[in-house]
Every structure is written in structure tokens, then in C-alpha cells.
Amino acid sequence: MPLKIYINNKFYNKKDAKISVFDHGLLYGDGVFEGIRSYSGLVFKLKEHINRLYNSADGIKLKIFLSKPQLTKAVIKTLQKNKLKNAYIRLVVTRGPGDLGLDPRKCKNSVIFIITDKIKLYPQKFYDKGLHIITAKTEKNLSKALNPRIKSLNYLNNILAKIDAIKAGTEEAIMLTYDGYVAECTGDNIFMIKNHRLITPPCGIGALEGITRDAVIKLAKKKKMKFSEKKFKIGDLYKADECFLTGTAAEIIPVIKIDKRKIGKGIPGVLTQMLIKEFHNLTKKDGVKYAV
């Protein structure tokens, strides 16, 4: 069965799904998006993702022409059209077609499209044995210039850091702020564990307020783990007992080496593995159910 793509209340076969070359989402990265997961007919944290999408849209003064309940139904309907119980969902809202200038007033109608498909961000061996990452040469955009809470279509900063990782022969790279603090990775939030305390950078310095990030923090607190949201530098990360990344597509993935420095014992840590187990349990019960 050909994949069905949702575009503005209609469904199209994958090969026929098109938007205008004058769309400002394409021309200027003027739009917002969410990556969402469904597990066994349950869309994980769908309410939180929809809320973050609207917050991102508000941040760039972009009007979403559907209400939150309508957009939620559109996501469910797209999954059902494609008969997918386990899927990655890409929900995108662009400014819509305009002219070749920057003026967003020229874009009269926004565009919503939804893609539901499979995704495997990292090979299974990295989940089993841990990931090797590097520090990117590319710095994180200044938070005062671009609010990190806005999940926009302009990911060039992250892509350049991803290229740094590829050149180094690794899958991921840590992005630092202009003053040398750890912000996040190219597509994931980052955590470290030191002396049984879970630590992650504050969102205000350049990290996305990740849905999986927030879920992991709540799981850790439920397990009575000490938690701190504070700034730290790469040297602090080298001395961590454990390290892991979080993201919708990545879920939770252990990190065992950073810039040729072994983290902890050089294997996925006990607390990291505990959080992975708890997270997988959470995906079975926290979300919106649907039938295929």
C-alpha cells in the first residue's frame, strides 16, 4: 500500500505529495515541526507535542489554521490511513507560499503536512554497547538571537554540527554555547550522571525543551534520583560516571566515549539502563490511543 501523506485536510500518495517551491518553509525555513512516536497504537505524549508545536508557532507569529483537537485528529487519521501501530510522525506547519521576498504577510495561507513512517535513528549495536560522540566545532546559535524553545524548520546550525560528527566518523556531536558550556547534541538532549545525580543543561542556554528529556527527568525523580538542571563544560562531562542522549527518534541511548575519552567504565551505566527500562514501560501507557 503506497504511503499516504496528509496536506491541508487531504491525503496524497507519497509520489504525489507536493508543496509549492514558493513556500517560505522551503525558501527560508519559515515554519515549525514536531517529531512524534507511536507505540502499539498509542501516540506517545501527543498532547505535549501538540502544545509545543503551537508554542513554537506563537514564537514565530505563525497562525495554525486548525485547532489543537482538529490537529490531534489529523495525526490519528494519518496513522490510520497508513495502518501503522508503530511509527514516527513528522508534523510540519509552514508559513505557506508567498513571493521571493522575506515578508511573511505575502504568505496568505499556512500549510500543514503530516508524514507517518518507520524510523531507526541509530543501529541497535549502539543501544546495546553505547555510542561514541565528539564535540562539534560548530557552536550553538545564541539564545538571544533565536529562542531554543522554538522548534523551527531552520536546522542549518544543527546540520553543520552533524557534518562535524560525520567527518570525525561518529554518529553525534555535542554543541557548545559561545562561552563553552554544553548545550545539546545535533538532534538530542544530553544528560550525565555523577555521584548518582542526574544533570542536564538548562534550556535557556540553547537546549531544546525536549519531550523525552522532560519524561526522563520525571522518571528519575519518581525513582528518587537526585536531579540538577545546571550549566557544565565538556571537561565536566569527561568526568561523568554515565552519559546518555534523549530524543523522540533516539529515545534513550547510552554514550560511552566523548572525544576519545572513556566515560565511566566505558559501558552503558546501570542507572542509564534503569531509565531506559522505565522509559519503555512509560511508552506503553502515556499517550493517545487509536485503532488501525
Q: Would the pLDDT of 8 be above 90? A: yes
Grid cell listed for 173: 556531536
Name residue, grid cell 545564541.
142
Three cell numbers, residue 98: 508567498
Residue 1 has pLDDT above 90, yes or no: no
Residues 46 and 149 in one domain: no
Indicate whether 75 and 179 sit together in one domain: no
Helix (H/G/I), strand (E/B), else coil: 202: coil
Would you say residue 268 lies in a domain? Answer: yes
- Domain-embedded: residue 222: yes
Same domain, 211 and 69: no
Is position 289 within any domain? no
Shared domain check, 75 and 169: no
Q: Are residues 112 and 132 in the same domain?
A: no
Average per-residue pLDDT for the chain: 97
User: Identity (one letter) of the amino acid at 158?
Assistant: N
Q: What is the pLDDT of residues 156-191, one digit of tens each?
A: 999 999 999 999 999 999 999 999 999 999 999 999
10 and 92: one domain? yes
Look up 151 and say whether it is catalytic.
yes
**Last-in-domain residue among 61, 88, 117:** 117
Residue that finishes a domain, picked among 88, 117, 146: 117
Whether 291 is in a domain gets the answer no
Q: Is 274 exposed, middle or buried (0-12, 13-18, 19+ CB in 10 A)?
A: middle
Please state the domain count of the chain.
2
pLDDT in tens, 16-49: 999 999 999 999 999 999 999 999 999 999 999 9
Domain assignment present for 142: yes
Q: Quick one: average pLDDT of 127-155?
A: 95
98/104 Cα distance (integer angstroms): 8
In terms of domains, do 198 and 111 share one? no
Which residue out of 151, 221, 239, 277 is catalytically annotated? 151
Same domain, 112 and 130: no
Angle between helices 46-59 and 211-222 (to 10 degrees): 130
Decide which of 51, 82, 117 is a domain's last residue.
Answer: 117
Q: Clarify whether residues 76 and 207 are in a common domain.
A: no
Q: pLDDT digits over 103-123, tens only?
A: 999 999 999 999 999 988 899
pLDDT at position 75: 98
Residue 287 domain-assigned (yes or no): no
pLDDT in tens, 260-290: 999 999 999 999 999 999 999 999 999 999 9
> Is residue 292 situated within a structural domain?
no
DSSP 285: T
CATH number of the domain bearing residue 96: 3.30.470.10
Strand 172-176 and strand 87-94: pairing? unpaired
Q: 131 lies in a domain? A: yes
Residues 144 and 221 in one domain: yes
Residue 71 C-alpha cell reads as: 490537529
Quickly count helices (H) and strands (E) in the chain: 8, 16
**203 and 184 share one domain:** yes
Range of the domain at 263: 124-282
